[in-house]
Amino acid sequence: MTDARPSLSEDIGRRERNYLIKMGIRLLCLVLAFTVPAPMPVRILLFAGAVFLPYVAVIGANAPQRRPSADSGLTETGQNEIPRHRREIGS
CB 9 within 8 A of CB 51: no
CB 46 within 8 A of CB 33: yes
Q: Count the Cβ atoms, other than its own, within 10 Å of residue 37.
A: 6
Give me the residues of the chain with pLDDT under 70, please: 1-2, 65-91
**Domain residue extents for the chain:** 8-36
C-alpha 81/C-alpha 44 separation (Å) is: 50
Note the pLDDT of residue 66: 66
Note the pLDDT of residue 39: 92
Q: What are the CA-CA distances from residue 24 to residues 14, 49, 59, 73 (Å)? A: 15, 11, 16, 36
Per residue in 73-85, pLDDT (tens digit) is: 544 555 566 666 6
